[in-house]
A and B are shown apart, each in its own frame.
Chain A
């Protein structure tokens, strides 16, 4: 009668026992007979399938070949992805190049746009429309002249029916490190007008430009020293008439009669 259990017999057969355990099993005749039978079985299984391992390898089972195919597929996948990105990019670039605006805005156009933005924002304010009230005209003039590093007189438009409300200092994002001054006027009906003033250094563009943006007209004027954009809801003719009163006051040398260019 075998004293060894099934697991011990299998462990012996499969080489999982240490030397001492093996000696114990080997002393057991019945166990050794069982092991011999199982050994024959295992030999038969190997005889059955070992030939499969000895067959020459077909090309399709070559790891080197499979790796090449895999890498090629991988690369093609990446290439496809790159092409999708490229096509999208071309579309975006074409869309940008073919956008309605035919040419990039130049600096003075940015100044006009900024002038209109500032006009829209601050003329809507009642109590905080200006930073320094028009009653402190002298102080305001000195302050803004100092900030913009150029002499800025506060034009008087009372003859044209506009009261001077005051002014504020603004950033001028279009100019590098730039500053701008906004002066605000109001007529008897409560309609407001702003002047957007910047130093003219580095700004090239026409001397005059009249643009309609939204509900407002903007009249841009520049000389060698300063730029001034007049913004208001008034008709273009009215702005031109006002400009005739404003520019001579801003510039020490009276400007000659302007010839406006319509956009």
Chain B
């Protein structure tokens, strides 16, 4: 029990980071993390897979976030990207403008691409782990990842790579 909670605690910083990147809102992100932890605690006996906790927690948080978005859409509360304060992004200082631009670009990605991108690049998960968390085949994961990266490069004004051969 104590071991489980200690293990859980060790995962909280990564969960906060992932939630922050998904929502770009401190309070909403921490709400998600709290819900995720409560769910993990109450279900540990039932659903906890053997092996490391981290992928399981990411899967719970991903699903909670999806549910939140669905119910927010049902309640007709569209989030205006420009209106939402962006506390996760450092104050615009010289050299940080590119980061703010990147944050906005990530925000425009479809959710499934954003999830794939964040799990692999931000959280450093292996493809197999990320695919399992999102419950998709490996090929689908790589396809989403590739499209997300290409979209970001277009949106952040990075020079197009004419010699990048895309398959499919």
Does A50 contact B17, Cβ atoms closer than 8 Å?
yes
Does A34 contact B164, Cβ atoms closer than 8 Å?
yes
Does A6 contact B41, Cβ atoms closer than 8 Å?
no
Find A44's partner among B38, B98, B161, B163 (CB 8 Å cutoff): B98
Surface stretch bound by B, among A54-62, A83-91, A168-176, A217-225: A54-62
Q: A46-B121, A64-B5 are in contact. Are A10 and B98 (CB under 8 A)?
A: no
Does A48 contact B42, Cβ atoms closer than 8 Å?
no
Does A66 contact B34, Cβ atoms closer than 8 Å?
yes
Q: A2-B163, A6-B165, A52-B17 are in contact. Are A66 and B98 (CB under 8 A)?
A: no
Contacts of A16 in B (CB 8 A): 126-127
Nearest opposing residue in chain A for B11, CB measure? A63
Cα A162 to Cα B161 with chains together (Å): 122
Does A53 contact B99, Cβ atoms closer than 8 Å?
no
List CB contacts (< 8 Å) of B39-88 with chain A: 41-42, 88
Contacts of A4 in B (CB 8 A): 165
Q: A58-B30, A63-B37 are in contact. Are A49 and B5 (CB under 8 A)?
A: no
Cα A53 to Cα B152 with chains together (Å): 23
Task: Please classify the interface of chain A as helix (H, G, I), strand (E, B), loop, or mixed, using the class held by over half of its residues.
Answer: helix
Does A6 contact B167, Cβ atoms closer than 8 Å?
yes
Chain B residues at the A interface, C-beta cutoff of 8 Å: 1, 5-6, 8-9, 12-14, 16-17, 20-21, 29-30, 33-34, 37-38, 41-42, 88-90, 98-99, 102-103, 106, 117-118, 120-122, 126-127, 142, 145-146, 149, 152-153, 156, 158, 161, 163-167
Please give 20 more A-B residue pairs, beta carbons under 8 A apart, in addition to A37-B158, A45-B122, A57-B12: A1-B165, A4-B165, A6-B167, A10-B142, A14-B120, A14-B126, A41-B102, A41-B149, A41-B152, A48-B21, A52-B17, A52-B20, A52-B21, A55-B16, A57-B13, A60-B34, A61-B12, A63-B6, A63-B37, A66-B37
